[in-house]
Amino acid sequence: MRIFLDDVYDRRIKVLSFIANRRKEVSLSEIAEATQLSKKTVSIIIRQFEQELTLTEEQFKVTYIHNTVQGVYANNLDLVSISNKQLKNSILYKMIRHIFLMERIDAISFCDLEFISPATFSRNRRKLQNILNQCGLSLTRINEIEGEEFRIRNFFFLFFFNASNTWEFGLNVYNEISEYFSERITDWEKMSCINKRKICLLIYISSIRISQKKVVKKSILSDLSEKFQEGKYTKVFFEYFHLKKNRPERQAWNETSAALLLLYKERLVDEEVFVIEEHKKFFSEENFKLVRYSQMLTEKLIETFFQGNSTPLVYWKIRKELDMMHLLMETCFIDPRMFYYIYDEKTFFCADSTEKKIQLKIRNVIDELITKTEYGSFFKAIKKYTSQETLTDYTYLVTYTILVKFTQVDFPKVRILIQNSKIFVGPIIYQKIKLLFSDKVEFVKNQFASPDIIVTDIQLMEKDTRAKEIFISSFSNSSDFALLLDEIEKKIVEHYDNRQLYLG
pLDDT digits (tens, 9 = 90+) for 18-55: 999 998 999 999 999 999 999 999 999 999 999 999 99
**Burial per residue of 462-497, b for 16 or more beta-carbon CB atoms within 10 angstroms, e otherwise:** eebeebbbbebeebeeeebbeebeebbeebbeebee
Is residue 171 pLDDT above 90, yes or no?
A: yes
Three-state SS string over 409-460 comes to EECCCEEEEEECCCCCHHHHHHHHHHHHHHHHEEEECCHHHCCCEEEECCCC
- Percent helix, percent strand, percent coil in the chain, to nearest 5: 60, 10, 30
Strands 414-419 and 453-456: parallel
pLDDT digits (tens, 9 = 90+) for 202-219: 999 999 999 999 999 999
Non-local CB neighbours of 72 within 8 Å, separated by 6+ positions = 19, 25, 26, 31, 46, 60, 61, 62, 63
End-to-end CA distance of the chain: 41
pLDDT digits (tens, 9 = 90+) for 238-268: 999 999 999 999 999 999 999 999 999 998 8
pLDDT (0 to 100) of residue 408: 87
Residue 185, CA distances (Å) to 178, 191, 234, 499 in order: 10, 10, 11, 42
Q: Does residue 306 come out as left (phi exceeding 0), alpha (psi in the -120 to 50 range) or beta?
A: alpha
Q: Which residue has the higher pLDDT, 472 or 160?
A: 160
- CA–CA gap between residue 285 and residue 170 (Å, rounded): 44
pLDDT (0 to 100) of residue 453: 94
pLDDT band at 272 (very low <50, low <70, confident <90, very high): low
The CA-based angle 164-169-174, given to 5 degrees, is 100
Q: Shortest CA distance to 417 belongs to which of 440, 457, 447, 437? A: 447
pLDDT (0 to 100) of residue 503: 72
The answer to which of 56-65, 194-203, 227-236 has the lowest mean pLDDT is: 227-236
DSSP for residue 498: T
pLDDT (0 to 100) of residue 273: 66
Structural contact between residues 232 and 199, judged by C-beta atoms closer than 8 angstroms: no
Q: Which residues make beta-bridge pairs with 184?
A: none
- CA–CA gap between residue 301 and residue 308 (Å, rounded): 9
pLDDT digits (tens, 9 = 90+) for 110-147: 999 999 999 999 999 999 999 999 999 999 999 999 99
- CA–CA gap between residue 392 and residue 359 (Å, rounded): 8
Beta-sheet strands, E only, within 155-265: none
The CA-based angle 284-289-294, given to 5 degrees, is 75
* Amino acid making up residue 491: K
Q: Which helix (H) or strand (E) holds 469?
A: strand 468-471
Three-state SS string over 361-405 comes to HHHHHHHHHHHHCCHHHHHHHHCCCCCHHHHHHHHHHHHHHHHHH
Would the pTM count as exceeding 0.75?
yes
- CA–CA gap between residue 264 and residue 320 (Å, rounded): 11
Structural contact between residues 60 and 74, judged by C-beta atoms closer than 8 angstroms: yes
Mean pLDDT of the chain: 93
- CA–CA gap between residue 486 and residue 24 (Å, rounded): 17
pLDDT (0 to 100) of residue 420: 85
Non-local CB neighbours of 423 within 8 Å, separated by 6+ positions = none
Q: Shortest CA distance to 468 belongs to which of 453, 489, 485? A: 453
pLDDT digits (tens, 9 = 90+) for 305-364: 998 888 899 999 999 999 999 999 999 999 999 999 999 998 899 999 999 999 999 999
Beta-sheet strands, E only, within 1-80: 26-27, 60-65, 68-74
Q: Which helix (H) or strand (E) holds 470?
A: strand 468-471
Is residue 367 pLDDT above 80, yes or no?
A: yes
Q: Shortest CA distance to 365 belongs to which of 312, 302, 438? A: 302
- CA–CA gap between residue 65 and residue 487 (Å, rounded): 36
Q: Which residues make beta-bridge pairs with 60?
A: 74
Structural contact between residues 263 and 269, judged by C-beta atoms closer than 8 angstroms: yes
pLDDT (0 to 100) of residue 360: 97
- CA–CA gap between residue 174 and residue 169 (Å, rounded): 8
Structural contact between residues 321 and 394, judged by C-beta atoms closer than 8 angstroms: no
